[in-house]
Amino acid sequence: MWDLLIAMAWSVSPLGEAKVGIPYALVHDVNIFIAFIACFGANLLVFPIMKFFLAFVNRHFLKWRFYKKSAIFVARRAKTGAAKGVKKYGFWGLLIFVMLPIPGTGVYAGSIAAYLFGIESKRAFWANAIGIFLSCVFVWTATLLTMEGIEMNQER
């Protein structure tokens, strides 16, 4: 039970998202289907949290110099990473950007990019949700295949 909660915490965390949560759960013998659903669901919660943060909290903190400098730094990184695809392809560019299971992509960066490029909330949510789902499928499958390969090598 604790391992599932820790995996979900990783999935909500900006340090790993489901890219870390799913492998953590699977390595700690959480049921493969429960691990997928729980980590995907936890990662999906990031979008409404970021939406609230960007719409309300961000506005009040921007008057603080340290926060403003940090926010500009993060916004520039998100804009740089997503600029070409999101600007040119909109929904599909955002979906692919979120889907890539590499550092610097995911729901946090995707939510910021959608905010910066003015993508409608409903479209941004679906782009993030589908992108997260596809990323989770990739990470889940890769982790399961890797674990299967390790088990096969140990039996030899």
pLDDT tens profile 4-32: 999 999 999 988 888 999 999 999 999 99
pLDDT at 28: 95
pTM of the model: 0.84
Percent of the chain's residues with pLDDT above 70 = 96
Q: Report, as an integer, the average pLDDT of 44-61.
A: 86
Decide if pLDDT at 35 tops 90: yes
Q: Report, as an integer, the average pLDDT of 101-108.
A: 81
Q: How far apart are CA 82 and CA 78, in angstroms?
A: 6
**Token pair listed for 45:** 């919660």
**Token pair listed for 31:** 């049921």
Q: How far apart are CA 43 and CA 21, in angstroms?
A: 9
Task: Select the more confidently predicted residue: 118 or 45.
Answer: 45
Using alpha carbons, list the distances in angstroms from residue 85 to 19, 43, 110, 132, 140: 21, 22, 11, 17, 25
Task: Select the more confidently predicted residue: 156 or 90.
Answer: 90
Confidence band, pLDDT 50/70/90 cuts, at residue 156: low
